[in-house]
Amino acid sequence: MSGNKPTFHIGSIPIYGEAILSPMDGFSDLPFRSMARRLGSAMSYTEFVNAMDVVNTHPHLDERLTYLEEERPIAFQIFDDDPERLLRAALILRERDPDIIDINLGCSAKCVSGRGAGAGLLREPQKIGAIFSTLNKELDIPVTGKMRLGWDDDSLNYLDVAKIIQDNGGKALAVHGRTKQQAYRGEANWDAIAEVKAALTIPVIGNGDVRVVADIDKMINYTGCDAVMIARGAIGNPWIFAGLDRADVLNEQVRETMLAHLDSMLDFYGPDRGIILFRKHAARYISPYGLSPEQREQLLTSETAGDFAALLDELALHTVPA
């Protein structure tokens, strides 16, 4: 919490801070989210969940939706292309006591957008209106959205969609400054984020190309957005939420955080699966150290936490980051 005065509110919920860990499939699980929150992320978003999985009680649902009280405010992000099914899912999720329900309007993965969900919804603005109107009428907590600028450069309908979300009860909107077609390529369009912010009265959270601490203020000053959402820039550098660029983090702090993250993964997923799932994080943590391909492979295929810690000290942390 940064001071006593909220930075902004989502509905009646106060948000303290200007930097938020973005929801990322396969990354923003409880171990990583809670660590980012402790380091200064202003709130937590779960990995997205499929509304169909919610209504059908998918066995892995608990894993994605388990959260710690210290993560609050906590937003559950869901996706689907059917307003009624999204409502059913949201009402079921409400029983888990989240602070916010967030609708994914930005996933560019073919398996999601290709069926008309995620960024696919941007092709049907009226359906977006129906989703927000339906959920807003039935839920007693804020409904928010995270969107892209449009399907492609020929269908940049972000202003229309943003206004539809606000007009139908959306309480905040995160805007990724890329189209579905761009995926994660090219530069994020901060001008478009500024246009959305100027057009709305609800909070707008900017997303895209925030890689270092200076980019947080740069985006806020450029776009006027209320906060910044950080995705890839936080993988391997969760310290960005504590106001530190990776080059500013001492080796001992890197070691302590990495091993704490690994322990959290082992506790949450079990020893075998936890260490495997940690490898994608470890690859980013060690990227500044200039290890050879053989050294990287040796470290990243460690089979126990003890082996990983020993190799980390031997191969990486005695070096000066590149």
Residues 240/214, Cβ–Cβ less than 8 Å:
no
Question: Which residue do the tokens 């260490």 mark?
Answer: 275
Q: Is 263 helix (H, G, I), strand (E, B) or coil?
A: helix
Residues 232/246, Cβ–Cβ less than 8 Å:
no
Around Cβ 250, how many Cβ atoms within 10 Å?
Answer: 10
Cα–Cα distance measured from residue 215 to residue 232, given in angstroms and rounded to the nearest whole number: 13
Q: Is 204 helix (H, G, I), strand (E, B) or coil?
A: strand
Return the CA Rg of the chain: 20
Q: Phi-psi region for residue 60, left (φ > 0), alpha (ψ -120 to 50) or beta? A: alpha
Catalytic residues: 107
